[in-house]
Every structure is written in C-alpha cells, then in structure tokens.
Chains A and B, each alone.
Chain A
C-alpha cells in the first residue's frame, strides 16, 4: 500500500498551482481559473493520513484557507465546508453521530433544493460583498432560464447531443466606444442543465447516474476496506468519494465537464472510484477462495 502515499501531493499541487496562476495573472501572464477545479482540494487530507505528517495538515489546510482569501470564490468556500463535513463523517465520528450528521446534510440539501437558487444566490452575494465584489447571480439566472426553456422544448431526448453549447447571455460586448451590439455567448454554467438540454432526461440521467454512482461506489469501498482493516486504501477511497461529491457540486454552478482542463482531473477521480471497486471485488474473491464451503455464502 506504500505506493498510494504520493497521491496527497496532487492536493498540494492544486493549492500551489492556484497561487502560481494568481501570481502569473498579477504579472500579466495568462489568467487564474482555480475555482472550477476546487474539487481536487480534498486530496490534501491524504498527506497526513498516508504519510503520517501532521504538520502538513496545518500547512495544507492553512494555505487552502489563504487561497480562499486571495481568490474569494463561493464555489471554493462551499467545497471546503462540504469536504470538512464529509471527512468528519467518514473518519472521525462514531456511527450514531455519523447518521445524525448525514441526516442533517440531506435535510440541508433538500431545503436548498426546495428554495431553488435563492439560497446559493444569497450565499454568493453575501460572501462576495464581504470582499467588496459583485455577485454574478444575474448572469447565471439568465443563462439558467435559457437552458430551462431549451430543455422544455424536448425534455426526453433533448437534441440528441447535436448543436452548440453556447447560449445567449443577455449581456452585450462593446464593439466600439459606447456601442454594445454583440451579444455575449457562454456555456450554461450548470453541467446538469447542459446535459439535460442536449441529451434530455436520458442523457442527463445517465450522466448523473454514472458520476453519482461512482461516488456511492467509493463510499461503499470505504466501508468495505475499513472493515477489512485496510486503512490506507480506505482513506484513498474516502478522499476520492469527497472529490466526486465536490465535483457534483462544482458542476452545479460552473462549466466543468466540457472543458478538458477540468474534465481530465474530474474523470480521473471517477476512474479511481471504479478501480477501487475492482480492487475490493478482487479482495472479496481472494477472501472467499481459501475459506471453507459453509462461509462462502457470507462473502458473495
């Protein structure tokens, strides 16, 4: 299991890379685009757990918080809070508290869903106003309305993945001084809605089922590996599970999957959950083989 140890450094690379990109942007080279890949941040947890270096926890979490101050994004704030909550549920709480916290998280999720984008908009506006910035909820709500209209036009099959994914935003670009006549086109900033628009309920359902199912499989792997006493592998799958849940949130408010620089790490996380399941399946077979016949039924 030694070979898993370096995985935590990917989380460090996320924080270091974010600071590097912000520094480059300040120096006039390129631009920083960090919050869309915030789902990689939970990998920081793997450093102390797999390498036994507690000091790195402080350094990792401290620099992640510093990043939130330097580049205040609501996505990152919610991903950090969610990751810490999930990490506590998975590895720090006993089973009764675990159930209570999971119940609380589901209830919060339902309340947020019932309130629609209002709660997220309120968080976004309040968080950004604390830094003297303006929220971009108006931009998003216009795009969401466009996406909903396109989805309702063909809800089952969508466009069968035909056609472009740039939609009119209702905002105009200045082509000459004082002349705003070119409408800005942008992706929907909500991958679920984008898949629903292009693939209908079938395409959207398959995407949610595939990615959500991977998170569920990683969570099941954690429980199975913990019960077998394979703590390192359980920590690995735990971090992967949190990353996929963070990814599912990030997809709700940002264009993630249709951008290769976000899709590659995102699908890599999904792949790790699936390969973890192959590993657990092999462990199950290995456990079943040498045992007497009367115990085999328990292993199936």
Chain B
C-alpha cells in the first residue's frame, strides 16, 4: 500500500470518527435535526414558518448534509425503494419550483419538496452510523 493511500485512508477515518463520534444519535446529523425539532415545538411565534426565516431550516439541513458528505467521503449508500421514489419526486419537481421562484410565486410546494433532502441524506451518512 502506497504512503499516499495510507494517509488518505487515515484522513478519511479521522473525519469519520470526528464527525460521527458516538454513533447515530450523537452525530451532528441526528442532533441537528432533533435540536431543530425541539426548537420548533417550543416556538410560539412560529419563526420558522415566517416568510423572513423560512429558508433557514433548508440552509441548516444543507449544512448537516455537507457534514455527512464530508464524513462519508462522498459515497452514497444503496437506497431502499421508498428513498428512490422520494428522489424521483425531488428531481421531477425541481424545474417547476425553480420557475415558481423566478416568477415570484407567493406560495408553492417549495418546503415540501426541498426538505425531502432530509430523508434522502440518510444515504449520504457514513456506514459507521449503521451500527450502534
């Protein structure tokens, strides 16, 4: 095994261990979503539904997915069939939603479709999280 391959593997292992230390329910992906859920439950002003902050959950989810991709080294696990259906739904809906945004449509299914990234991000999580 060449030295560069060893270093690359070690780097990947270090990233996996740093970002996924403690298993699934202590990973940033899981804790981030749990934290967001708890915040939502205790928010009487419904700030997340407010048009000014409506994109924040999506930005946060994208951040969590970014961390997962970093940890897994960009590898995608084999999805289950419901995951495939949701992925197809996301792909076929994107053009219409982009047109809606460009036309400045006040309300569309943007949140319902874009947040599908949450269940789909499961397949970007590193395999170390498959064990407890």
A1, A4, A30, A271: which contacts B119 (Cβ < 8 A)? A271
Interface of B: prevailing SS:
helix
C-alpha spacing A300/B116, complex, angstroms: 30
Write out the residue numbers on chain A whose beta carbons fall within 8 Å of the beta carbon of B108.
161-165, 198
Q: Known contacts A165-B108, A199-B92; is A274 also within 8 Å of B40 by CB?
A: no
C-alpha spacing A278/B77, complex, angstroms: 9
C-alpha spacing A279/B77, complex, angstroms: 12
Residue A10 is within 8 A (CB to CB) of chain B in the complex: yes
Residue A202 is within 8 A (CB to CB) of chain B in the complex: yes
Q: Are B44 and A261 in contact (CB under 8 A)?
A: no
Write out the residue numbers on chain B whose beta carbons fall within 8 Å of the beta carbon of A166.
106-107
Give the A interface residue count (CB, 8 A). 69
Residue B9 is within 8 A (CB to CB) of chain A in the complex: no
Chain A positions 219-278 with a Cβ under 8 Å from a chain B Cβ: 233, 257-261, 263-265, 267-268, 270-271, 273-275, 277-278
Can you name the residue of chain B whose Cβ is closest to the Cβ of A32? B44
Residue A184 is within 8 A (CB to CB) of chain B in the complex: no
C-alpha spacing A263/B77, complex, angstroms: 24
Q: Are B25 and A275 in contact (CB under 8 A)?
A: no
C-alpha spacing A212/B85, complex, angstroms: 11
Residue A151 is within 8 A (CB to CB) of chain B in the complex: no
Shortest beta-carbon distance from B19 to chain A in Å:
16
Interface of A: prevailing SS:
helix
A21, A165, A212, A260: which contacts B107 (Cβ < 8 A)? A165
Write out the residue numbers on chain B whose beta carbons fall within 8 Å of the beta carbon of A199.
89, 92-93, 109
Residue B7 is within 8 A (CB to CB) of chain A in the complex: no
Q: Known contacts A160-B96, A164-B106, A275-B122; is A268 also within 8 Å of B33 by CB?
A: yes
Size band of the B side of the interface? 35 or more
Shortest beta-carbon distance from B56 to chain A in Å:
8
Can you name the residue of chain A whose Cβ is closest to the Cβ of B34? A10
Q: Are A14 and B125 in contact (CB under 8 A)?
A: no
Chain B positions 47-97 with a Cβ under 8 Å from a chain A Cβ: 48-49, 54, 57-58, 61, 77, 79-83, 85-86, 88-89, 92-93, 95-97
Shortest beta-carbon distance from A211 to chain B in Å:
7
Chain A positions 54-81 with a Cβ under 8 Å from a chain B Cβ: none
Which residue among A1, A20, A32, A274 has the maximum number of chain B CB atoms within 10 Å of its CB? A274
Q: Are A260 and B109 in contact (CB under 8 A)?
A: no
C-alpha spacing A275/B38, complex, angstroms: 21
Write out the residue numbers on chain A whose beta carbons fall within 8 Å of the beta carbon of B42.
13, 16-17, 20-21
9 pairs, CB–CB < 8 Å, chain A vs chain B: A21-B42, A21-B44, A163-B100, A198-B96, A259-B111, A267-B115, A270-B86, A274-B80, A275-B122
Known A161-B92, A162-B96, A260-B115; further 10 A-B contacts with Cβ < 8 A? A3-B22, A7-B25, A20-B42, A20-B44, A29-B45, A161-B108, A164-B108, A166-B106, A203-B93, A274-B82
